[in-house]
């Protein structure tokens, strides 16, 4: 199987998926039972932050350019309007 994968890889999976979609899904379901990925989920007790606080924290991690891009995104989706907006860091 390893040799086949190295030779044909994703092309073979695409053909299999097209010709036998039911078996393809069954096989993925079986793999899901065998291969378990551990999620690095941390439950946060973080409290909502003021927009300025959240943006300052973001800037410290991604720099000024990253902050500007995120502010632009927030304006586009209508989330950045008032000075006293709050960002719920626990749910977003």
pLDDT (tens digit, 0 to 9) for every residue of the chain, 92 residues total? 788 888 888 898 899 889 998 998 888 888 777 666 666 666 666 676 787 888 888 889 889 998 888 888 888 887 666 554 445 444 44
pLDDT of the residue at 40:
61
Q: How far apart are CA 17 and CA 24, in angstroms?
A: 5
87, β-bridge pairs: 49
**pTM: predicted TM-score of the whole model, two decimal places:** 0.37
Burial class (CB in 10 A: 0-12, 13-18, 19+), 87: buried
Q: Is residue 41 part of a domain?
A: no
- Residue 79: what pLDDT? 66
Q: Is residue 39 part of a domain?
A: no
Residue 69: which domain range?
Answer: 49-87
Q: With residue 20 as reference, give the H or E element that holds it.
A: none
Residue 42 in domain: no
| Count of the separate structural domains present in the chain | 2
* Lookup result for tokens 């927030």: 74
In the prediction, which pLDDT does 73 show?
A: 83
Residue 75, H or E segment: helix 51-76
């Amino acid at each position: 199987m390893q040799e086949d994968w190295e030779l044909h890889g994703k092309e073979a999976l695409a053909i299999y998926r097209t010709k036998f979609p039911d078996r393809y899904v069954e096989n993925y379901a079986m793999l899901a039972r065998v291969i378990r990925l551990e999620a690095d989920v941390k439950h946060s007790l973080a409290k909502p932050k003021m927009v300025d606080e959240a943006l300052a924290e973001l800037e410290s991690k991604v720099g000024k350019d990253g902050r500007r891009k995120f502010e632009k995104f927030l304006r586009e989706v209508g989330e950045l309007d008032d000075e006293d907006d709050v960002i719920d860091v626990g749910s977003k």
